[in-house]
Amino acid sequence: MISEQTMNTVKYVLITAAKNEELYIEKTILSILNQTIIPEKWVIVSDGSTDRTNNIVEQYCNKYIFIDFIALSPNKERNFGSKVNALNKALKKLEGMEFDFIGNLDADVTLDKSYYEKVFRKFQSNPKLGIAGGIILDCVGEKELPQNISLNSVAGAIQVFRKECFDKIGNYIPFKYGGEDAYMEIMARMLGWDVQTLAELKVLHHRPTGTGMGSLSKANLRSGKMFYTGSILNILGYFSAFIKKEKCPAGDAFINFVRSEQRERLRSLLPFNKKKPVIKTSRMIKI
């Protein structure tokens, strides 16, 4: 049992890259303001927003000292490189600060008021836990539909890192087809850290899945190009990347580790291995 005194000493920071989130970002801000443990610093970077996103964030930035805001110049369209650039600019603002955990939070989700407190209790009970987060429920009309994700994977919208784990991985790196969040969690597992979805912690995702950067089918094709593995669409992406001889910026060791995870999962699904638990590997990216 983690004492209340221990919880009171926990320090964490948040980073958010937001682009044209006027419909959702105020809900996200209010859900952070209602947390039982408030972050030491929250750096929100507007990735060239052209709607009212900047105005909304500035109102809260002027009112709450822990919210820091950076507005980048508008660009033509959403792209994965610009998001990574925004996240790394947020990280630059955190240099020299002391904290225990860092969270990457999307600007279109809402959290229960004790969300971060519960996440930190999980970290405190498992010293090997490097990345944790709840489960995303997509809000579709009146329904709340859980995203398909393995228990040893955390949706990029709500990844929380132990600082030591984050420091060993390093900053986000851009990939042509996206997947900076999946890269971080795969690197964490590669370095020996546990990655865990906390299925009891529900997070509402208000932007319909697939509208951020195109359809879900396109996202799956991109993820195949990124990780050279996965479903039918992912496999098509793999062959497209293979034909074009595209190099993964994370390097061969990273790709080999991803493939080894997938091989383990496939082995665990074979009929003669039915008595063994299925190896859960990283979900392919949902965007």
Give the tens place of pLDDT for each residue, 155-172: 999 999 999 999 999 999
Tell me which residue of 85, 89, 50, 49 sits closest to 68, measured CA to CA.
Answer: 89
**Amino acid, single-letter form, for residue 54:** N
Same domain, 113 and 247: no
Question: What pLDDT does 76 receive?
Answer: 61
Q: Is residue 285 part of a domain?
A: no
Total domains in the fold of the chain: 2
In whole angstroms, what is the distance from residue 229 CA to residue 114 CA?
36
Pair 38, 175 in one domain: yes
- Same domain? For 229 and 170 the reply is no
Residue 146, helix vs strand vs coil: strand
Q: Is 221 helix (H, G, I), strand (E, B) or coil?
A: helix
Residue listed under structure tokens 């990347």: 241
- Please give the mean pLDDT across all residues of the chain: 82
Q: Are residues 149 and 232 in the same domain?
A: no
Instruction: Check pLDDT > 80 for residue 45.
Output: yes
User: Domain check: are 260 and 162 in the same one?
Assistant: no
Domain identity same for 143 and 235: no
Q: 3-state class of 209 per DSSP?
A: coil
10 and 143 share one domain: yes
Mark which of 205, 233, 254 sits at the end of a domain: 205
The set of residues, in sequence order, having a beta carbon less than 8 Å from that of 159 and lying 6+ positions away, is 103, 104, 131, 133, 181, 184, 185
Choosing from 205, 228, 253, the residue where a domain stops is: 205
Average pLDDT over residues 30-48: 97
3 state DSSP class of 197: strand
| 157 lies in the same domain as 253 | no
184 in Cβ contact with 159 (< 8 Å)? yes
| Residue pLDDT, tens place only, 56-93 | 999 999 999 999 999 999 876 556 688 999 999 999 99
Which one is predicted more confidently, 195 or 240?
A: 195
Coil/strand/helix, residue 144: strand
pLDDT at 287: 26
Strands 101-104 and 143-146, by their bridges, are: unpaired
Report the chain's C-alpha Rg in angstroms: 19
Residue pair 48/76 in contact (Cβ under 8 Å)? The answer is no
Task: Give the pLDDT confidence score for residue 78 in this predicted structure.
Answer: 54
Q: Could you tell me if residue 287 is inside a domain? A: no
Instruction: Let me know if residue 81 belongs to a domain.
Output: yes
Instruction: Mark whether 176 and 227 lie in a shared domain.
Output: no
Range of the domain at 22: 4-205
Cβ neighbours for 140, distance < 8 A, ≥ 6 positions apart: 208
What's the CA gap between 46 and 36, in Å, rounded? 26
Beta pairing class for 143-146 and 67-71: unpaired
Residues 108 and 246 both lie in one domain: no
Judge if 62 and 117 occupy the same domain.
yes
Please tell me the pTM assigned to this model: 0.81
Q: Is residue 35 part of a domain?
A: yes
Q: Is 40 exposed, middle or buried (0-12, 13-18, 19+ CB in 10 A)?
A: middle
Rounded distance between C-alpha atoms, residue 284 and residue 90, angstroms = 26
Do 72 and 147 share a domain, yes or no? yes
The reply to whether 211 falls in a domain is no
- Is residue 132, in this structure, part of any structural domain at all? yes
